[in-house]
Structure 1
Amino acid sequence: MDGSSAHGPGNGPVDRSCARTRGWVDEAVRRVVADANRSADTHLHAFPLPEAWGIDLYLKDESVHPTGSLKHRLARSLFLYGLANGWIREGTTVVEASSGSTAVSEAYFARLIGVDFVTVVPRSTSPEKIALIERYGGRCHYVDRPPEMYEEAEKLAAQTGGHYMDQFTYAERATDWRGNNNIAESVFEQLSMERHPVPEWIVVGAGTGGTSATIGRYLRYRRHHTRLAVVDPENSAFFPGWVTGAGDYATGMPSRIEGIGRPRMEPSFVPDVIDVMVPVPDAASIAAMRHLDRVTGLCAGGSTGTNMWGVWQLVARMLREGVRGSVVTLICDGGERYRHSYYDDTWVARQDMELEPYTGAIERFLATGDWEPPAE
């Protein structure tokens, strides 16, 4: 033998490090962290409820992130996770399966660190969302049917030698649920001066499941009595999967509420940290979203409306039980993205949605304290 082996010449150590590669990763991480460092925390708005109720409602406004949605936090975490794991390097093409806000935010971070970004989207994706992705230098790769997105993204990453970000698998593990300025820690810090600093409920939707997993784990880690409610729109697999305990539950149908609801149970969805799940009709989501805009001037998207419909049910429950305290939910993204859909009466009519019964239920509740939602 010549003294060499598969382990290297003379069986010595094999050095796979590269100063140039590590230097590029160091700089990429610095840029992503610096983006967070120069961003102020998102606002926590107070919603005006009747003083006699003794209940305070807060909305954490995630629409003020640079890319306009809650998904900015997720994209930042996914990029840091990919960089720290050695999956994203200089010249790596980052690939995702998303036609929504996650793709917009990931395109932003890809441009920030100087790598290419491609997202797999259905051909039915709105021109407005395509334009947002392309604004940040992203490229869209089209498929005919939404269920084809996952496999096509994997294939595209393999063909390009790139990295498939796979938000639906890695969302729950990429975010540090113990703290480190995650969304749960931020909420509790912002509530610290309020009269009910530990909320009775936090209400969120589930798209990947990453946000609900982070908040649910944090509540247990910090031993807060706060309960977590997750709202779910029509056609989504999360609610029936949670109720039945079927981890492979699938509806095969897309959600009409952007950013939340999935046709299958996703790997990042963690059912055991959720206390209550609330199914929400799509018409209720749109009605609640529009009501929020009229009452507060906070123009938000449909997923925020889904949150609000769940909030009203839980506030009504607190009133019935004589519980005083606070409730927190999220403004997930801004309503300007939906001026041709959720805020368009013609679009709503084409969806065969009747908003008035749900709007009336909200208005009567806030006027009388009596919760009487329309019969389903």
Structure 2
Amino acid sequence: MSQREWVAAAIHKIEADFNRSADTHLIPLPLPGYAGIDAYLKDESSHPTGSLKHRLARSLFLYSLANGWLREGSTVVEASSGSTAVSEAYFARLLGLPFVAVIPRSTSPEKIAAIEFHGGRCHLVESACSLNDESERVARETGGHFMDQFTYAERATDWRANNNIAESIFKQMAEEPHPVPAWIVCGPGTGGTSATLGRYVRYRRHDTRVLCADPETSVFFDYYRDACQGRADPSLALPGGSRIEGIGRPRVERSFIASCVDAMVKVPDALSLAAMRHVSAVLGRRVGGSTGTNFVGVLRAAQAMHEAGQEGSIVSILCDSGERYAHSYYDPAWYARHDIDVEGADRAIAEAVAGAPLQQLPTCNL
């Protein structure tokens, strides 16, 4: 089989897999303290690999195949905090390709098990800051291809149509009381989702604004704030990684396009995890920490709308299931080890849902 024939067959397999998949649900979420403001969560945990990153992985594979970067037998390498690696392992196995995930040692054991379940191999590193360099080294030594989600996420996704997450949200909102959301809230990881959402709403000429909720240990908020003031520093970096797996980065990634984002809020980890517990209780099932960060962004957007006397809708993303975090976010001992105030944060979220303002959250353009 020639290379072109192999690529054609590989793309056909991915497209057939996509054709077998249903869309993800849009779930109403009550905000008792904000009359006239409706909130929804786009439940990305229902993808075959259990997270929002399933969409990204599919796009990255198609992008790499169309560019001629993947060949029959190629080793696929990715730098990931877990969920992207799970999804890429799924697509690598679909195409019969070996897969290596370069992940932080702190990645939850449930995610490691999921990567290995789909046939991937995990290469653990101590620091999140070294993921890309180590991935490039592994790719060189195996003669493989480094997918590099943090560079290509924003360009691999077709932001205009093709059932991307933005198009899906607007189709599902069509019969709701406020069909055009005032805000869509997401957390920046690669920056690919915020770029897709921001481009789509501009392309379709919607009034919707995109709010990014950045976790405590991440450079994106500071970079965005500086970019809004005309002094962005792409070399901005932190020594450690985010405790909220899947979002937040210690350095500015090339897929994060600040001009696609309308506003940002920086969320303390304690509040993210309290919001995670609140959403889990409301839905009757566990969600991940990044969903909690998003929900704090929803509360902050609702507060801004309420103060402005506005009604409307807010859509955010349920990124993944909480079952992947049984040994961390759902383990009381983990909170004790990290000295996180659970009771105070739970109280703050409960009061915010009832309409009390969230105090001391750094915001930009909100």
TM-score normalised according to structure 2 size: 0.94
> Relative to 1, partners in 2 of residues 1:363 and 1:146: Cα closer, same or farther, differing over 3 Å?
closer
Q: Is the counterpart of residue 370 in structure 1 residue 362 in structure 2?
A: no
Question: What amino acid sits opposite 1:110 in the alignment?
Answer: A
Shift of 1:374: 6.7
**Quick one: distance in 2 between partners of 1:252 and 1:27?**
43
Q: Which amino acid aligns with 1:229?
A: L
Q: Is the 8 A contact 2:191 2:255 kept in 1?
A: yes
Q: Which amino acid aligns with 1:217?
A: R
1:176 & 1:248 partners in 2: Cα distance?
28
Identity of aligned pairs, percent?
61
Aligned partner of residue 40 in structure 1, secondary structure: coil
Q: Does 1:251 align with 2:233?
A: no
Residue pair 1:235, 1:262 contacting (<8 A) in 2 also: yes
Alignment correspondent of 2:268:
281
Name the CA distance, whole Å, in 2 between partners of 1:49 and 1:31. 42
- Deviation (angstroms), 1:20: 2.3
Q: Which residue of 2 aligns with 1:110?
A: 92
Secondary structure of 2:197's match?
Answer: helix
**Partner of residue 162, structure 2:** 180
**1:296 matches 2:256:** no
- Pick from 345, 350, 361 the counterpart of residue 358 of structure 1: 345
In 2: Cα distance, 1:101 partner to 1:68 partner: 8
Pair 1:92-2:74 in alignment: yes
Matching residue within 285, 292, 303 for 1:305: 292
Alpha-carbon offset, residue 146 of structure 1? 2.7
Q: Any unmatched runs of 5+ in structure 1? A: 1-18
Report the 3-state secondary structure (helix = DSSP H, G, I; strand = E; otherwise coil) of the residue aligned with 2:41. Answer: strand
The CA deviation string for residues 291-341 of structure 1, in whole angstroms up to 9 with x for no partner, is 111122142100000000111111111111110100000000000111111
Q: Select the residue among 329, 351, 354 that pairs with 1:342.
A: 329
Shift of 1:52: 7.2
Aligned length, in residue pairs? 357
Residues 1:371 and 1:51: Cα distance change in structure 2 (over 3 Å): closer
CA contact 1:95–1:119 (8 Å) conserved in 2: yes
The one of 254, 257, 270 equivalent to 1:270 is 257
The higher-RCO structure (CA 8 Å, 6+ apart) is 2
Contact 1:241/1:248 (CA < 8 Å) preserved in 2? no
C-alpha separation in 1, matches of 2:78 and 2:258: 24
Q: Does 2:313 align with 1:331?
A: no
RMSD: 1.6
- Aligned counterpart, 1:169: 151
- Tell me what 1:131 maps to: 113
Give the superposition deviation at 1:153.
1.2
Residue from 20, 44, 49 that aligns with 1:62:
44
Q: 2:171 aligns with which of 183, 189, 197?
A: 189
Contact 2:244–2:289 at 8 Å: present in 1 too?
A: yes
Partner residue, 2:229:
none
Conservation of the 8 A alpha-carbon contact between 1:357 and 1:374 = no
Match of 2:217 among 235, 249, 259: 235
Aligned: 1:141 with 2:127: no
Deviation for aligned residue 1:372: 4.3
TM-score, structure 1 as length reference: 0.91
Task: Name the CA distance, whole Å, in 2 between partners of 1:132 and 1:52.
Answer: 39
Aligned amino acid, residue 68 of structure 2: G
CA distance in 2: counterparts of 1:52 and 1:74, whole angstroms:
33
Unaligned runs of at least 5 residues, structure 2:
227-231
SS at match of 2:3: helix
Counterpart in 1 of 2:56? 74
